[in-house]
Amino acid sequence: MEQNKQKNILEIKRYPDSILRKKSLSISEIMLKDVELLEDMLLTMYTLNGIGLAAPQVGCSVQIIVADVGEGPIKLINPRIVKAKGEDKLTEGCLSVPDINVDVKRPYEIIIEALNGKGEPVEIKADGLLARVIQHEIDHLKGRLIVDYMGMIDKMKLMKLNKNRRQS
């Protein structure tokens, strides 16, 4: 693999971009482009002060997510939650839905099975913030956004905000 490939900061797709609503495809064989995408996603996430990022957010409809809640980067391909327990409610934001925060109820602890950036199977036990970030990013792979957790009044405010943004 070429080590000199320049990393790129990727453009974040914003709500209501249609790619954010598509179900992502699983990856059957990890290619160089997937490894490069993981690295570019990490750079993008760090540059934008995010703590998680999913491939659909950068225009790629594949099952790839990255996260870092201060414990080092996590790169996951085809992640799936195999066990969840507990419950927690916290306010979440999203790089694809700027200036919007939503209270979201999620399991507090999860176990995830996935492939790492080298294509090796991994199992990750996560709780607290890391569990929340991984679940948020897996939601993106399913075409689900934080706006889906909003009540009707907040959704109406968001529609008005988006309309005003398009007019300015």
- Residue 8 located in a structural domain: no
- Residue 7 located in a structural domain: no
pLDDT at 167: 77
Label residue 2 by pLDDT band (50, 70, 90). very low
Contact 69, 129 (CB under 8 A): yes
The C-alpha atoms of residue 107 and residue 89 are separated, in whole angstroms, by 9
What single DSSP character describes residue 66? Answer: E
pLDDT at 152: 87
22-74 pLDDT, tens digit each:
999 999 999 999 999 999 999 999 999 999 999 999 999 999 999 999 999 99
- Residue 128 located in a structural domain: yes
- pLDDT reading at 158 higher than 90: no
- pLDDT reading at 3 higher than 60: no
Residue 144 belongs to domain with CATH number: 3.90.45.10
Active centre residues (catalytic): 137
- Three-class SS of 8-39: CCCCCCCCCCHHHHCCCECCCCCCHHHHHHHH
Coil, strand, or helix at residue 44? helix
116-157 pLDDT, tens digit each:
999 999 999 999 999 999 999 999 999 999 999 998 888 887
- Residue 29 located in a structural domain: yes
- Residue 4 located in a structural domain: no
Domain limits at 32? Answer: 18-167
Label residue 19 by pLDDT band (50, 70, 90). very high
Average pLDDT score, the chain? 93
How many folded domains does the chain comprise? 1
- Residue 148 located in a structural domain: yes
pLDDT at 60: 98
pLDDT at 168: 67
pLDDT at 1: 40
pLDDT at 165: 73
* 11-15, 26-30, 157-161: the lowest-pLDDT one: 157-161
- Measured at the CA of 155, the angle between CA 154 and CA 160, to 5 degrees, comes to 95
